[in-house]
Amino acid sequence: MSKQAIRVSADSTCDLSPELLDKYGIETLPLYAVLEGKAYKDGLEITPDEIYAKVKETGKIGSTAAINVDEYITFFTHMKESCDTLIHFVISSEMSSCYQNACIAAEEVGGVYVIDSRNLSTGIGLQALRACELADKAMAAEVIVSYLREMAGRVDATFIPESLEYLKMGGRCSAATALSASLLRIKPCIQVRDGAMVVGKKYTGAMEPVLMKYVKDRLCDLEKVDLSRVFITHSGMTNPELVDKVKEAVLAIAPFEDVQVTRAGCTVSMHCGPNTLGVLFCKK
């Protein structure tokens, strides 16, 4: 295989489908899901459904663990065999030590730009695909990296969890908050803001009408929406038809050129649990 000028890679938290990874030539490096003291490679040694089964069996949530420096060095060295310059995306530095570890490794290997996505899930995926498209235009790596660091602030990443149970078990919300949300059928919109997750608008009711309201709210100002691509990303839905209904609702409002439906990996699923769905896109 001939050596490319620029290649793009990412941590497994980008939640891109195998088809998209193959189409764009993106290789990924897995984070870890830790259950009962044992670490499993995200997507390679464990799946979200296996995590859900384990949590149901034990009543205990696991945790996630970052990629260490040595693993990054090995991965970057491998990737550099097929390119002059590597652009690698990591989950927000506010959420993990991956960025710090990757930067140490990049300095060791050389020729590697580490991008702090300031995001998670396909909020990272949006940036990675754009990087591939810019690289295909033979743009200089420094120009692409500059663009990507500006783009990170324009990603609109939000999601709606059906239940706060996993967030409660993981210590990210109190038992009282989770109980009141369940009793009152409250479903908060979790947003990524300044690289961290915060609670936005709170919806009330069953999941389907909540998702319809959520879609309208996210796409209410089309003049500010970049219509080139949107991701509808979910953590596994008890009612798969809801995903199709969300896609129809999105397209009824906004004529996106590229609509991708993807399944979230272990990192997002571990924290949010099943029946979580998000609509992710960029602003102009």
Domain count, the chain: 2
Contacts 24+ apart (CB under 8 A), 215-219: 215/246, 215/249, 215/250, 215/253, 215/279, 216/249, 216/253, 217/189, 218/156, 218/158, 218/279, 219/250, 219/253, 219/254, 219/279
Q: What's 120's DSSP letter?
A: -
Q: What is the CATH number of the domain that holds 90?
A: 3.40.50.10170
E-strand stretches of 53-136: 63-65, 83-90, 112-116
Tell me, what's the pLDDT at 200?
84
- Single pTM value for the model: 0.92
Q: Which domain holds residue 251?
A: 154-283
Is residue 52 located within the same domain as residue 122? yes
**Low-confidence spans in the chain with pLDDT less than 70:** 1-2, 166-185
Length of the chain counted residue by residue: 284
Give the Cα separation of 217 and 207 in Å (integer).
Answer: 15
Query: Which H or E run contains 210?
Result: helix 207-218
Is residue 9 located within the same domain as residue 103? yes
Tell me, what's the pLDDT at 188?
86
Last residue of a domain, one of 133, 153, 173: 153
Q: What is the CATH number of the domain that holds 259?
A: 3.30.1180.10
Tell me, what's the pLDDT at 183?
45
- The sign of the CA dihedral 127, 132, 133, 138 is positive
Contact (CB, 8 A) for 236 and 52: yes
